[in-house]
A and B are shown apart, each in its own frame.
Chain A
């Protein structure tokens, strides 16, 4: 398993893993998505207070409900074409991801998606950073089970190279916030932004655990 706390990751010795399971109250709900650091023992001590797999996994259920809502998932598609609408159909006119995630040729995201929402029903929503994840870091949400998505987000090599602090910070990103500024005719994510941030922070602070499934 990989850690998001720094760029190095390694597999934890089985015994240590077991110790951790004993220390943390585990009622058969979770595996931790991040387990240790290069400075494992110190951290382990710090985490003793904070880690709580039950609370973490519970929080992730909320996080997941938001991430898998069209407002987030539509730009984290399994393929290279974004999704669109509350039913997450493939984006009309099939714009392609492109290397940097900003589209290609005459079909760049910013050609239609302005720095702000265009007023009107079904008009292109906007944000200065509007884009898909880049082609070398696709960060797919579509089709991911809770466990898969949690592990992916906690994986430094699959989450856009974000460490813990950066992950926490990411929930404050303007593009993430844009999910709640969805423009006319679109459903917001199932939680408020405030609820989402709370769930996100809890999930990560309590250990970033992945649910069993």
Chain B
């Protein structure tokens, strides 16, 4: 039995400690916003925050998360009101939508570490997340918009 702290809640789970965090989230805790895309850390659909870092849960053993703080898309904000979530809606970014949770979770780390990212910063931060529908231009714009919202909120 291991204990995980996910989105500020504790969960006791009976699972092989080598199981990737992704599958624990999806199949043991029923948080399915974190997606399975490639299973080999190439696409970014499975990004969650482990102590604030945008780890790829498909290659992160659940044992690495024990005693740490995990945040998934479901816990990114209280009421879907993270600036990125608002900006994603405002720019109507999604097409199929499958990759977008991972995109937002990656972008959240960028925005925390860089309040005023350039397009180059965004490309540097987001090149690990594949969007098969090709919504990259809207992702860029939404991140810029979210950064602006975030700066205004702080004022």
Contacts and interface: CB of A to CB of B under 8 A. Distances in A.
Tell me if chain B binds chain A.
yes
Interface of A: 92-96, 104-108, 110-112, 114-115, 118, 120, 122-124
A-B pairs, top 7 by smallest CB distance, nearest first, are A106-B106, A105-B125, A106-B54, A112-B41, A105-B110, A93-B128, A106-B109
> Interface of chain B, helix or strand or loop or mixed?
mixed
B140 to A, nearest CB: 14
Contacts, number: 68
> Interface of chain A, helix or strand or loop or mixed?
loop
Contact of B59 (A94, A107, A114): A114
Interface size band for B = 20 to 34
A129 B121 CA distance: 25
Nearest to B47: A106
A96 B54 CA distance: 15
B126 interface: yes
B64 A115 contact: yes
B78 to A, nearest CB: 22
A111 B55 contact: yes
B42 interface: yes
A129 B16 CA distance: 25
7 contacts: A104-B125, A105-B114, A106-B105, A111-B55, A112-B41, A112-B59, A124-B59
